[in-house]
Amino acid sequence: MSGRREEILDAALAIADEHGVDAVSMRALADRVGVTPMALYRHVKDKAALLDGMVGRLLAALLPPEPRPDHTWEERLDALAHACRKVTQQHPWAAHLLFSRPAVTPDGLRAVDIIYTALIEAGVPEPEVPRLERLISTFVIGFAASEAAGRFAPGDLDPRGRRGLLPDSELPGHRALGPWLDLPLDLTAEFEADLADIRRMVEAAARPSR
Amino acid sequence: MSGRREEILDAALAIADEHGVDAVSMRALADRVGVTPMALYRHVKDKAALLDGMVGRLLAALLPPEPRPDHTWEERLDALAHACRKVTQQHPWAAHLLFSRPAVTPDGLRAVDIIYTALIEAGVPEPEVPRLERLISTFVIGFAASEAAGRFAPGDLDPRGRRGLLPDSELPGHRALGPWLDLPLDLTAEFEADLADIRRMVEAAARPSR
DNA sequence: CGTACACGTCTACGCTGTACACCCATGAGT
DNA sequence: ACTCATGGGTGTACAGCGTAGACGTGTACG
């Protein structure tokens, strides 16, 4: 009702964006809101519940403002995927939380439903739809989380230096790929290519099963 | 050299397996090893480094004991994926750490190399191999993490109850899928089917690009 | 007027990671 | 035989954490 809870959650989001999620302590949050730490507990059960509330707010931002039946299923799927990546780019700390909390919030459900309808429209047999939804969401969230956590971009060690950890003889694959490994990677282009591959996978699942 | 570090890491793994990763505090770990908390810092730079060391030990367990050129690329890929899922089933707390720390350890590199060689052998064009490696590893780790975190199995709320959060009119996809959503889900079978889809995707990437 | 309720404060407890100074056993070099 | 570096361990201390519990205080309504 009061809107106080939302104020608090937004303050917490601001702290997380500015100083990282670890900086979100009850004391720091209370300071920011202008109250005593204990006052927060009137609006939030727990620290865990606080984090849940924070990702809840983000999930809402991930959804299209209104249903888009005028777009193709490919476009709707892409839009959702891009929205997901955008959210985790703006709030890197939140990426791994998307994995922990099952999508049981209303907004989470809506996101799942968008994928369901897209897959149905693509012609995927109904019994296969839930599995493919999980496959797709797992990959998209996984990509976003990997990017946010820096799994794809091993900071100080460039690919060449990284390979130095082991003799090339132990890494035949790396040796064979040679120069391709030294290219700078464009994660936006890569995400696009991945989504294209996934679209092809959906189309294959939709074909009369050969 | 001394092996003391390994002792400590294994003690930490034991605590994490028994009481969860949050129970791994420097004090608890020191107690278990039989020393003072500060003694640990001779062998481990940080708490963060401690966690890194722990996942390092797990990564080693994930790899096949020796190269298996006698197996097909499909079999080697499957074996690695299953090993990954097995590790995160035995150590659920570790799943999301696999995302954070880039695979720059020797063992991590070896795992990547296994995927590289498999994809090359499958006939994937070399410039595409690194991207597909990231796609596959992202999905596999993502699946494992989702399962470990319970993202696929929303505890107390069964699918039917979950859907009750929103009017069916807002969830056309859920409504259309009806009974298929109430089936109990067999994650082992689902993982298998997902891997099959991914294999098909690799084969498609290997085909002379149509 | 009384009283219920939402909201906030104060104090305190047990826990965390870790900086800093100190100690002791071993083994190598002169 | 005497010194000295080095690796491993101890003890103390500090700042920060989440949160339980008791206690105020203002506003709204019977």
The per-residue pLDDT for A89 is 96
**Minimum-distance nucleotide, CA of B22 to C1':** C16
Is the sign of the CA dihedral B82, B87, B90, B94 positive or negative?
A: negative
Collect all residues with Cβ–Cβ distance below 8 Å to B77 and sequence separation of at least 6. B114, B115, B118, B136, B195, B199, B202
Instruction: Please answer yes or no on whether A177 and B145 come within 8 Å at the CB atom.
Output: no
* B 177-196 near A (Cβ less than 8 A): 177, 180-181, 185, 190, 193-194
- Distance between first and last Cα of chain A: 55
A102 to chain B, closest Cα gap in Å: 4
Q: Is the CB of A32 under 7 A from strand D?
A: no
Tell me the average pLDDT across B18-24: 96
The per-residue pLDDT for B153 is 78
The per-residue pLDDT for B77 is 96
The per-residue pLDDT for A162 is 61
Q: Domain for residue B36, yes or no?
A: no
Asked if B139 has any chain A CB less than 8 Å from its own CB, the reply is yes
Q: Domain for residue B6, yes or no?
A: no
Q: How many domains, chain B?
A: 1
Give the separation between CA A9 and CA B107, rounded to whole angstroms: 41
Q: Domain for residue A145, yes or no?
A: yes
The per-residue pLDDT for A166 is 67
The per-residue pLDDT for B62 is 83
Give the separation between CA B42 and CA B44, rounded to whole angstroms: 6
Name the region of B68 (left: φ>0; alpha: ψ -120 to 50; beta: rest): beta
Q: Domain for residue A199, yes or no?
A: yes
Q: Tell me the C-alpha to C-alpha distance, in Å, between residue B28 and each of A207, B22, B25, B48.
A: 56, 11, 5, 16
pLDDT at B193 over 90: yes
Q: What is the pLDDT of residues B77-87, one digit of tens each?
A: 999 999 999 99
Residue listed under structure tokens 């107690």: B31
Which residues of chain B make contact with A154, given a CB cutoff of 8 A?
102-104
Instruction: Please answer yes or no on whether B134 and A152 come within 8 Å at the CB atom.
Output: yes
Longest dimension (CA), chain B: 65
Which residues of chain A make contact with B181, given a CB cutoff of 8 A?
130
Amino acid identity at A156: D
A96 to chain B, closest Cα gap in Å: 7
Q: Domain for residue A30, yes or no?
A: no
The per-residue pLDDT for A99 is 85
The per-residue pLDDT for A60 is 85
A80 is in which domain, residue-wise?
A: 65-206
What DSSP letter does each residue of A137-157 carry, written as one string? HHHHHHHHHHHHHTTTS-TTS
Q: Domain for residue B145, yes or no?
A: yes
Q: What is the pLDDT of residues A47-62, one digit of tens each?
A: 999 999 999 999 888 8
Task: Specify whether the CB–CB gap between A44 and A53 falls below 8 A.
Answer: yes
Confidence of residue B209 (pLDDT cuts 50, 70, 90): low
Amino acid identity at A114: I
* B 2-31 near A (Cβ less than 8 A): none
pTM score, two decimals?
0.92
Q: Domain for residue B118, yes or no?
A: yes
Burial tier of A136 (Cβ tally within 10 Å: 0-12, 13-18, 19+): buried
Q: Domain for residue B19, yes or no?
A: no
**Spatial distance from the CA of A20 to the C1' of D28 (Å):** 41
Confidence of residue B154 (pLDDT cuts 50, 70, 90): low
Q: Going residue by residue through chain A, which has 210 residues, state the pLDDT in tens, using 9 for 90 and above.
A: 568 999 999 999 999 999 999 999 999 999 999 999 999 999 999 999 999 999 999 988 888 778 787 899 999 999 999 999 999 999 999 998 888 766 677 888 899 999 999 999 999 999 999 999 999 999 999 999 999 998 887 654 555 556 666 676 778 889 888 787 877 889 999 999 999 999 999 999 998 665
Percent of chain B with pLDDT over 70: 90
Task: Specify whether the CB–CB gap between A198 and A73 falls below 8 A.
Answer: no
Q: Which residues touch strand C (CB under 7 A)?
A: A 2, 4, 30, 35-39, 42-43; B 24-28, 37-38, 41, 46-48
Q: What is the pLDDT of residues B116-152, one digit of tens each?
A: 999 999 999 999 999 999 999 999 999 999 999 988 8
Write out the two tokens for B27.
């004090």
CATH of the domain at B182: 1.10.357.10
Q: What is the pLDDT of residues B58-72, one digit of tens each?
A: 988 888 778 787 899
Q: What is the pLDDT of residues B38-60, one digit of tens each?
A: 999 999 999 999 999 999 999 88
**Spatial distance from the CA of A86 to the C1' of D19 (Å):** 35
Instruction: Please answer yes or no on whether A162 and B109 come within 8 Å at the CB atom.
Output: yes
Residue listed under structure tokens 């074909």: A207
* B 65-84 near A (Cβ less than 8 A): none
